[in-house]
Amino acid sequence: MKGRARRPRWRLPALVAASVAALGLIAATASITRPATSPELAIRGADISFTLQEEANNQTLGDNGQTAPLETILARHGANYARLRVWVDPPKGTSDLDSALTLARRAHAAGLQILLDLHYSDSWADRTAQQTPSAWQGQNPEQLRSTVETYTRDVLAAFARQATPVAIVQIGNETTHGMLWPTGQIYKQTGEDWAGYAELVKAGIRGAKEAGPGPGPLIMLHSDTGGDQGASTYYFDHVQQEEVSFDLIGLTYYPFWNGSLASLQQNLHVLADRYAKDILIAETAYPWTLSGGGGIQSVVTSLDALPDAAAYPPTPQGQAHYFEALNRILREVPNGHGTGYLIWEPGWLPGVPADARTGNSHSNLTLFDWWGHGLPALDAFRPTGAAGS
């Protein structure tokens, strides 16, 4: 996620969509019986990658009247994971490896495990852009695969050397349309190229397993299709057909882009039945206001953008109730496959831009008000997402 306009919904080719929908209906019907609720979520955390930039901007955060670092506040409320993004060669101090290593040491000291989000780009990588790093451009497919393998191995080894090993690694960020374009682009003018994308993913996985010591981190593939069952199964079906071996399904789910909680719930049940893998909501957030901070309009400015606004209004308490509902939905995924969620940049207050060209239009999605005071939704990191749990 980054500062950008509302994303369009992805449309499958008509015949493919019909067949996927039919298969999805069968799977959904198979899991229509309400499953027993898991006692608690295994993963409850946040992406905290902007933290050093926030602190350099003299932003402070407080909880119950006490100022503390972001990772400390989250851990006190029950968080057990920190997600850190890494760009290949960005401006210094903006999601570079050194910044991620610093945050990893702090997160580890606070008792948090590390999920590493490798973008394989010099800046934001998502469904709309997967730009190959400048230093890697011009490589042929074989060279690029070797570069991806070596880079992944070296980055994970750097975390291991400082005794902050990566527990989970994303091989790419929101790779629904591929990665490292044009080599790993899935949807090309000549048709769909799943093999080119899959070979790059496999190279990244090899690198992750080579970083050692030990068995290596869990491997997660990340799609931005949280509320879209057809698009989700289309992507993961093809990944399986290419014999990519991975451990976790990662989904992006923002209600204002990805639909209602009911659509997410249906997708989670289908994916759990279809693939028998644990599912992590790798990114999520919800507004506590419709206003924008720092004079910048927010990504959510209307109740119409929130499918469940009647139940979860954009207020501090409504935000807290959204996370409590999301927690419950994940604990109801069949066979305990709803493993948890990561809240995106809960401390990204006004003043730090997304990049050199884009401001912060997400400051109404934080878990702190614009003066750094903690909001009720900090309790989202408790095992059942509710106060006192």
Domain ranges (residues) in the chain: 39-285+314-347+373-381
Say which DSSP state 310 is in: T
- pLDDT band at 387; cut points 50, 70, 90: confident
Among 9-23, 27-41, 221-235, 331-345, whose mean pLDDT is lowest? 9-23
CATH number of 39-285+314-347+373-381: 3.20.20.80
Give yes or no for residue 17 having a pLDDT over 60. no
Which residues, other chains included, contact 231 with Cβ-Cβ below 8 Å and sequence gap of 6+? 10, 12, 176, 223, 225
Both tokens of 230, joined, read 């057809």
Catalytic residue among 199, 283, 324, 345: 283
Give yes or no for residue 56 having a pLDDT over 70. yes
CA distance 122 to 300: 27
Matching residue, tokens 């923002």: 254
Question: Quick check: pTM over 0.85?
Answer: yes
User: What is the per-residue pLDDT for 70?
Assistant: 98
User: CA distances (Å), 249 to each of 71, 166, 369, in order?
Assistant: 25, 17, 32
Give yes or no for residue 3 having a pLDDT over 50. no
* pLDDT tens track for 361-371: 999 999 999 99
| Preceding amide of 213 cis, omega within 30 | yes
Q: Three-state DSSP class for 338?
A: strand
Catalytic residue among 54, 71, 174, 345: 174
**Segment 316-344 mean pLDDT:** 97
**Segment 188-215 mean pLDDT:** 94
User: What is the per-residue pLDDT for 2?
Assistant: 56
Higher-confidence position of 350 and 8: 350
* pLDDT tens track for 241-264: 999 999 999 999 999 999 999 999
Q: Is 283 a catalytic residue?
A: yes
User: What is the per-residue pLDDT for 38?
Assistant: 80
Give yes or no for residue 357 having a pLDDT over 70. yes
* pLDDT tens track for 91-100: 999 999 999 9
**Segment 350-359 mean pLDDT:** 89
- pLDDT band at 36; cut points 50, 70, 90: low
Q: How many CB atoms lie within 10 A of CB 245?
A: 11
Crossing angle (nearest 10°) for helices 229-241 and 261-275 = 20
Contacts 24+ apart (CB under 8 A), 5-10: 6/256, 6/257, 6/299, 6/305, 7/127, 7/128, 7/224, 7/257, 9/228, 10/127, 10/176, 10/225, 10/228, 10/231
Matching residue, tokens 């008792």: 111
Give yes or no for residue 6 having a pLDDT over 70. no
User: What is the per-residue pLDDT for 35?
Assistant: 54
Give yes or no for residue 289 having a pLDDT over 80. yes
**Segment 65-78 mean pLDDT:** 97
- pLDDT band at 382; cut points 50, 70, 90: very high
- pLDDT band at 389; cut points 50, 70, 90: low
User: What is the per-residue pLDDT for 274?
Assistant: 98
CA distance 385 to 341: 10
**Segment 156-185 mean pLDDT:** 98
Give yes or no for residue 46 having a pLDDT over 60. yes
Which residues, other chains included, contact 189 with Cβ-Cβ below 8 Å and sequence gap of 6+? none
DSSP H or E stretch at residue 341: strand 338-344
**Segment 288-297 mean pLDDT:** 91
* pLDDT tens track for 213-246: 778 899 999 999 999 999 999 999 999 999 999 9
Q: How many CB atoms lie within 10 A of CB 372?
A: 17
Q: Is 324 a catalytic residue?
A: no
